[in-house]
Amino acid sequence: MADEQSIRLTVYDPEGSSLEAAFATLAPLPPFLVRDLLLFARTVRALPKPLGSDDPLLALILAYRHGVAIHSALPPELQALAGDAVAKATWRKSLGTLLTGPPRPTTTQGAVEAVRCVRDEIHTQHGVALTQSVLSAVLNHFDRRILQ
């Protein structure tokens, strides 16, 4: 049976998300949760890593999507125990930035992905606020391009 330390090392996300901290409070885990946690770790490692981008809005959207994918991979039993901690460690910070002050895109690709993000998120609980803040950043980008 895996011990707590090996579980922590398995779940740690080298992208900088503190998944290790999200699960640190769950030890000792019953055997069925250890299995679920190890399957979750394997799923996280298999997810495609977000590509880097020089466009700050595109990089933020990619980080948000990656975090949501990690959170969505949580088995239901772990969701009940650690869903909030995993959300905080993976996608909540990038969503907060998208809602309150997204950077202006610097490329057309970043602007297009921002519009795509709004389209994908419009029916979520944050859809209206996300739409307003992200589209404002995109419009600022195009306004600057028009004036040049």
pLDDT band for position 57 (cuts 50, 70, 90) = very high
pLDDT band for position 80 (cuts 50, 70, 90) = confident
Percent of the chain surpassing pLDDT 70: 72
Instruction: Give residue-wise pLDDT tens across range 108-119.
Output: 999 999 999 999
Instruction: Give residue-wise pLDDT tens across range 84-142.
Output: 888 888 889 999 999 999 999 999 999 999 999 999 999 988 888 999 999 999 999 99
- Domain count along the chain: 1
Instruction: Give residue-wise pLDDT tens across range 15-41.
Output: 445 565 566 556 666 666 766 777 777
Annotate the chain with three-state secondary structure. CCCHHHHHHHHCCCCCCCHHHHHHCCCCCCHHHHHHHHHHHHHHHHCCCCCCCCCHHHHHHHHHHHHHHHHHCCCHHHHHHHHHHHHHHHCHHHHHHHHHCCCCCCCHHHHHHHHHHHHHHCCCCCHHHHHHHHHHHHHHHHHHHHHC
Mean pLDDT value of segment 37-56? 74
Mean pLDDT value of segment 8-19? 48
Q: With 60 as the cut, is the pLDDT of residue 70 above it?
A: yes
Domain containing residue 89: 4-147
